[in-house]
Structure 1
Amino acid sequence: MINLSTTSSSTVAAPQSRRRSIRRLWRGPAVAAATALLLGLLDQAAEAQVRRSGYDLPATLAVEAASEAVRVCAERGYPVSAAVVDPSGEIKAFVKGDHSTVHTKTSSFRKAYTVVTLGPVFGFEALGAFVEKTRGGPNTAALASLPDVLLLAGGVAIRAKGETIAAIGVGGAPGGEKDEVCAAAGAAKIGDRLPQ
Structure 2
Amino acid sequence: MRATATGVIALAMLLPVSAHAGDDALVTYKSLTPDVALEAAQSAMKKCRDDGYQVAVAVVDRFGQPQVLLRDRYAGLPAADIATAKAYTALSFRRDTSELAKMVRDGQMDANLARLPHIAMLAGGLVIETGGTLVGGIGISGAPGGDKDEACARAGLDAIRDKLDF
Range class of TM-score, shorter chain: 0.7 to 0.9
Matching residue of 1:132: 102
Question: SS where residue 55 of structure 1 aligns?
Answer: coil
Contact 1:53–1:161 (CA<8 Å) still a contact in 2?
A: no
Matching residue of 2:60: 85
Report the AA paired with residue 68 of structure 1. S
1:10-159 residue pairs with structure 2 within 5 A?
Answer: 54-119=29-94, 124=95, 126-137=96-107, 139-159=109-129
What is the CA distance between 1:130 and its match in structure 2? 2.1
What is the CA distance between 1:59 and its match in structure 2? 0.3
Contact 1:87–1:117 (CA<8 Å) still a contact in 2?
A: no
Contact 2:31–2:62 (CA<8 Å) still a contact in 1?
A: no
Contact 2:58–2:69 (CA<8 Å) still a contact in 1?
A: yes
Matching residue of 1:166: 136
TM-align CA RMSD: 1.5
Contact 1:110–1:150 (CA<8 Å) still a contact in 2?
A: yes
TM-score, normalising length: structure 1: 0.68
CA–CA distance in structure 1, aligned partners of residues 147 and 28 of structure 2: 31
Q: 1:55 to 1:138 in 2, by over 3 A?
A: closer
Bigger helix share: 1
Q: Which has the larger radius of gyration?
A: 1
Report the AA paired with residue 166 of structure 1. G
CA–CA distance in structure 2, aligned partners of residues 108 and 70 of structure 1: 12
Identity of aligned residues (%): 35
CA–CA distance in structure 2, aligned partners of residues 190 and 158 of structure 1: 10
Number of residue pairs matched? 140
Runs of 4+ in 1 over 4 A off after TM superposition: none
What is the CA distance between 1:195 and its match in structure 2? 4.3
Could you tell me which runs of 5 or more consecutive residues in structure 2 were left unpaired when the two chains were aligned. 1-26
Question: SS where residue 95 of structure 1 aligns?
Answer: strand
Report the AA paired with residue 40 of structure 2. A
Could you tell me which runs of 5 or more consecutive residues in structure 1 were left unpaired when the two chains were aligned. 1-51
Matching residue of 2:17: none
TM-score, normalising length: structure 2: 0.79
Matching residue of 1:186: 156
